[in-house]
Structure 1
Amino acid sequence: MGFIYENLVRPALFKMEPEQAHDRGRTALMTMGALPTLCKLVRRYNQVCEDKAVKLFGLEFPNRVGLAAGMDKDGEFPRAIEALGFGHAEVGTVTPEGQPGNPRPRLFRYPEQHSLINRMGFNNKGSEVMLQALSKNYPKGKRGIPVGVNIGKAKTTPLDQAVDDYVASFRTLADQADYFTINISSPNTAGLRDLQGATYLRELLQTIRHENLSHAKKLGRDPHPLLLKIAPDLTFKEIDEIVGVLLELDYDGIIATNTTIQRPEGFKSKETGGLSGGDFIRRRSNEVINYIYKSTEGKLPIIGVGGIDSVEAAGEKIDAGASMVQIYTGWVYRGPFFARELARALKSKGEDWI
């Protein structure tokens, strides 16, 4: 199936403008997700379940491969994601109100490097629309895989009011999220990465944690797992500061890493935005993962993201200290059944990669 995609389907898609191809794929996945019987049949072929469920953050995952945020921005097709072999889906990034994102063109391909550059700018329909989509199409309690909700700051919200955006989206989506990821690391919303600094970070994470605990107490249930997604462009000193706050506030995990604003030597493009996919981000995310794993002695669970376009690249993330992985750009280049390939490989390696 991978041969067919890479030699027939992908060339046709790559003749389209990148965001047009993304929209075509989104439409196909939404159509598939609206057909439960079809999803059930496809799932029988694709879903890989490890001998024992992967237990992390108090949740159970059938396998170690997830879909990173950015593909399903509005929670429109997680049922299709499950059918295609993923062990979890992260939807978003979502903001309290819908916003159009940055002007087009804002997505660019670099096939020789298996890379993308995007400056999408958190284009999404808003948290209320996501709530309706998840409630209708893939409601909590009737899922085969966990669904994480990735939340962010709106473009027009000042940094000193950013926490209000995160809390608003949390409140709206708390009943449909299996876990939340706080995204402070996208390079495509002006000032967002400043939230990774000491000036804003503690207040932001502390406020979200308080909201989470209050919501859980009110409903008489466990609080949601909370994760933080960080940039690969941080210094090790900055990573130390972030990890220290996460451990102090008892956060459940970290996602390493988002896209990078750096460029590898000889990279020709002058387009701005976050670079994903390829060896450059693969190596850097591995360094960050391994640093966090060693500095915390494995106490802070890590989801590894960045440059996974092969079984070997996924294995490197696990070797570096990640408990699970997420893919995005690799899925674009390797096709719809790539998650199944990775999940089967990680399962077959078993304790060798864990």
Structure 2
Amino acid sequence: MILSAFSPLLRSKLLSNLTLDALMKMDPETAHGATITALRMGLSPQQQGPDAPELATDLCGLKLTNPIGMAAGFDKNAEVPRQLALLGFGMTEIGTVTPRPQAGNPKPRLFRVTEAQGVINRMGFNNEGHDVAFERLRSVQVPASLGVNIGANKDSEDFVADYVLGVNRFAELADYLTVNISSPNTPGLRNLQTDEALTRLLGEVLDARAKAKKRVPVLLKIAPDLDETAMDAIARVILATDLDGVIVSNTTIGRDPVAGMSNATEMGGLSGKPLFPLATQRLAQMRQRVGDLPLVGVGGIHDAQTALAKFEAGANAIQLYSAMVFGGLDLLDRIKAGLVSEVRKAGKKNISEFVGTKTSDWAAGRL
């Protein structure tokens, strides 16, 4: 009751101060938990007014008021999807969720590379499992497109069977599903990106989708550490199916952008600002291979200019996460305002008119 008495402005100020000041003094995983708790308790700011029409986007048949989503990894257990939607995201993706609960890797497992505004994680799909996430999602209304990111338990005897269980469980609740085969923190998982394994995975996942009560869009999330031959193979497999889209990309195991910096030698996947050039080049290269298939660009977006670059490279929509660790939750508002300004400055009507306008340059590494 005390929290409900706070004005929206005061709630926003409290959470902003928590994000920008106190959180950076905490251990990263503790800080993340505190942010989730603050959102759950109603301290989050809420978007004031509707999104500008310049941001309206169609993604895999989903009508988004804006093309910016919260990436998977932030709300692993479906605790705050409604709050994230009210914050102003056009879509929010929970998970990764696995059939059975799992603790993930030993702590510490989340590290800031503050000098580069990067984050390294080796969380290991820590989550409370399908049942907990399902119960939370079926009891909440989310005023944005809701994605469920599905994965496999580390000790599973059959990773593909775990993904099928995810489709069976969440198809009725999700607006879209993401098949996450690109985390570097589950041994053997990235092997599902190889030709034969991916063919089996997508065949069984999409067969399960066909048997569901509704046709939910299914996206595949890939790694940035693929070479062009591997991307050729993935594209061939994808284009032979009715997969709805691809998310490019997950975290990288590379360390060149942060070499010599504090925490740079920690094992795990690197995200945040240092990932931007590699993830954006891979996005453009995948755009060249899949034609008009919807793509979601994620990796390193930290301001309106890097958000715009993802569209120019070929993204139809984008996702954020790590940059908000350093920029605060109001980073979303700044990026949306900046994108609207760029649309108007260019004499265009919608952000979609930027999609793919610089694909060749990004793919060739000229930007």
| 1:227 CA drift (Å) | 0.3
Percent identity, aligned pairs only? Answer: 40
Q: Deviations over 1:156-202 (max 9, x none)?
A: 013xx111111112111121111000000000011110111123110
Alpha-carbon spacing, 1:326–1:47, altered in 2? closer, same or farther (3 Å): farther
Work out which of the residue numbers 19, 31, 46 in structure 1 matches 2:29. 19
Q: Distance in 1 between matches of 2:49 and 2:121?
A: 29
Question: What letter corresponds to residue 201 of structure 1 in structure 2?
Answer: L
Corresponding position of 2:63: 60
Corresponding position of 1:29: 39
1:172 aligned counterpart, secondary structure: helix
| 1:256 CA drift (Å) | 0.3
Query: Higher mean Cα deviation, 119-128 or 336-345?
Result: 336-345
Q: Distance in 2 between matches of 1:25 and 1:208?
A: 33
Corresponding position of 1:292: 286
Question: What letter corresponds to residue 336 of structure 1 in structure 2?
Answer: L
1:316 aligned counterpart, secondary structure: helix
1:190 aligned counterpart, secondary structure: coil
Q: Residues 20-169 of structure 1 correspond to what in structure 2 (within 5 A)?
A: 20-32=30-42, 42-45=45-48, 48-51=51-54, 53-138=56-141, 143-158=142-157, 161-169=158-166
Q: Distance in 2 between matches of 1:8 and 1:46?
A: 24
Q: Deviations over 1:186-231 (max 9, x none)?
A: 000111101111231100100010110111xxx3x4x110100000
Alpha-carbon spacing, 1:49–1:156, altered in 2? closer, same or farther (3 Å): farther
Question: What letter corresponds to residue 154 of structure 2 in structure 1?
Answer: K
Question: What letter corresponds to residue 239 of structure 1 in structure 2?
Answer: M
Q: Distance in 2 between matches of 1:335 and 1:46?
A: 20
Contact 1:47 1:83 in 2 (8 A): no
What TM-score results when the alignment is normalised by the length of structure 2? 0.86
Question: What letter corresponds to residue 151 of structure 2 in structure 1?
Answer: G
| 1:321 CA drift (Å) | 0.6
Q: Distance in 1 between matches of 2:19 and 2:128?
A: 29
What's the Cα RMSD here?
Answer: 2.1
1:120 aligned counterpart, secondary structure: coil
Q: Deviations over 1:64-111 (max 9, x none)?
A: 110000000011111110111111001100000111100000000111
Alpha-carbon spacing, 1:81–1:212, altered in 2? closer, same or farther (3 Å): same
Question: What letter corresponds to residue 50 of structure 1 in structure 2?
Answer: P
Corresponding position of 1:201: 198
Alpha-carbon spacing, 1:47–1:26, altered in 2? closer, same or farther (3 Å): farther
1:137 aligned counterpart, secondary structure: coil
Give the number of aligned pairs: 334
Q: Distance in 2 between matches of 1:232 and 1:62?
A: 28
Alpha-carbon spacing, 1:151–1:353, altered in 2? closer, same or farther (3 Å): same
Q: Distance in 1 between matches of 2:324 and 2:185?
A: 21
Gaps of 5+ in 1: 33-37
2:242 aligned counterpart, secondary structure: coil
Corresponding position of 1:236: 228
| 1:326 CA drift (Å) | 0.2
Corresponding position of 1:336: 329
What TM-score results when the alignment is normalised by the length of structure 1? 0.89
Q: Distance in 2 between matches of 1:9 and 1:31?
A: 15
Q: Distance in 2 between matches of 1:300 and 1:150?
A: 19
Question: What letter corresponds to residue 157 of structure 1 in structure 2?
Answer: S
Work out which of the residue numbers 273, 282, 286 in structure 2 matches 1:278. 273
Alpha-carbon spacing, 1:8–1:24, altered in 2? closer, same or farther (3 Å): closer
Contact 1:86 1:340 in 2 (8 A): no
Q: Deviations over 1:269-310 (max 9, x none)?
A: 22100000123x10001111111112333x111100011111
Contact 1:48 1:344 in 2 (8 A): no
Q: Residues 308-327 of structure 1 correspond to what in structure 2 (within 5 A)?
A: 308-327=301-320
Contact 1:254 1:301 in 2 (8 A): yes
Corresponding position of 2:182: 185
Q: Distance in 1 between matches of 2:153 and 2:47?
A: 39
Question: What letter corresponds to residue 268 of structure 2 in structure 1?
Answer: G
Corresponding position of 2:4: none
Corresponding position of 1:345: 338
| 1:48 CA drift (Å) | 2.3
Q: Deviations over 1:123-156 (max 9, x none)?
A: 0011111111111123xxxx32100110011010
Q: Deviations over 1:12-62 (max 9, x none)?
A: 211111101011001111222xxxxx87xx434275243573111111111
Q: Residues 208-227 of structure 1 correspond to what in structure 2 (within 5 A)?
A: 208-215=205-212, 219=213, 221=214, 223-227=215-219
Question: What letter corresponds to residue 85 of structure 2 in structure 1?
Answer: E
Q: Deviations over 1:328-347 (max 9, x none)?
A: 10111111111122122223
| 1:3 CA drift (Å) | 10
